[in-house]
Amino acid sequence: MSKKTAPAVDAEAPAEAGRPPGRRLRAYASRELEAAIEALGWRGSRLHLGVHLARKGLRRVRATLALGGAALGPGAAWVDRGLRDANRDLSALRDAQALVETFDRLLRVAGDEAHRTLLRRGRRRAAAVRAAAARQARAEDPDLSARRGLLRVLHAALRALPWEPLAAPHWRAAVADSLRRVERARQRARASGVDEDWHEWRRRARRLSQQQRALQAAGLGEDAPSFDKRQAERLGEAQDLNLLLDHCGKRSPFAKPDRLALRAFARDELARSRSGIDPHGSS
């Protein structure tokens, strides 16, 4: 599979070393958005990887905007909403790819041959659904050019925001807020066991991870939050199992016998996955 080179996060470009912190955060967000626009232009078999990288980049930009908060002015909220909507607009394509990836991950660890046979059938069907989603997306928006055009407008707006005045109290307050939100989400998910609460925990943990990345990229690593990255990854794996369960309902692409078997298998795996996440840890 083709790989996209991610923007560097562990060292600043020499030209940026003397810039004010706010401008460095802007440069990071700008690079991530530019990379997302480029990835959405990938064609053929690289389409799904491009969508995955683009959505990841959009989330990183939103996390960086949150580090500035109200100090970035009212325009930041408009840019954030645009990025959020663009990300949601790509979710069907990403879910189609994520379902295939979930089957691949489960096949790597499944030891029972009956389960492996079931998962292979499920993967073939998921791959067909992914291909259909790609065809529909290309028909509606060839080369995703309309989406890329919108992101270029948001890119210009993002660069025009007042990044220069940002100072340590702004991003420190944002990080502290993210840490509180992660802990509240963790407690709620653990207490309720409700899928949406677990998903919220995962979203909060991912935002914290993205803010750590942004601060490190801007040379502000001393203010970057610490967290258990493996725990965040496990939350993501659990969410992928929820995605599989979502595809085992009435509108499932799988034949009824496979749908019922996959549902039972995914529920068992989800319970096992969640039990492996440290109930006392911090994401």
Q: What percent of the chain has pLDDT over 70?
A: 92
Whether the CB-CB separation of 93 and 133 falls below 8 Å is answered with yes
CB 126 within 8 A of CB 252: no
Tokens of 101: 């990836």
Tell me what pLDDT residue 159 has: 97
Mean pLDDT of 255-264: 94
pLDDT at 283 over 90: no
For 166-222, give the DSSP string: --HHHHHHHHHHHHHHHHHHHHHHHHH--HHHHHHHHHHHHHHHHHHHHHHHTT-GG
- What tens digit of pLDDT does each residue of 88-111 get? 999 989 999 999 999 999 999 877
Region 52-57: mean pLDDT is 95
Residue of 58 and 279 predicted with greater confidence:
58
Tell me: pLDDT of 7 over 90: no
pLDDT in tens, 105-117: 999 987 789 999 9
pLDDT in tens, 118-163: 999 999 999 999 999 999 988 999 889 999 999 999 999 999 999 9
Q: What pLDDT is stored for residue 9 in this prediction? A: 44
The pLDDT value recorded for residue 16 is 55
Contact 145, 16 (CB under 8 A): no
Instruction: Give tens-digit pLDDT for 183-239.
Output: 999 999 999 989 999 999 999 999 999 999 999 999 999 998 887 777 888 898 888
pLDDT computed for residue 119 by the predictor: 95
Write out the H or E segment, with its range, that includes residue 123.
Answer: helix 113-140
> What's the whole-number mean pLDDT along residues 160-168?
97
Residue 278 pLDDT: 60
Q: Nearest to residue 164, comparing CAs of 15, 23, 29?
A: 23
> How far apart, in Å, are the Cα atoms of 134 and each of 3, 4, 15, 175, 243?
19, 20, 40, 37, 18
Residue 253 DSSP one-character state: S
Question: How much is the mean pLDDT over the chain?
Answer: 89
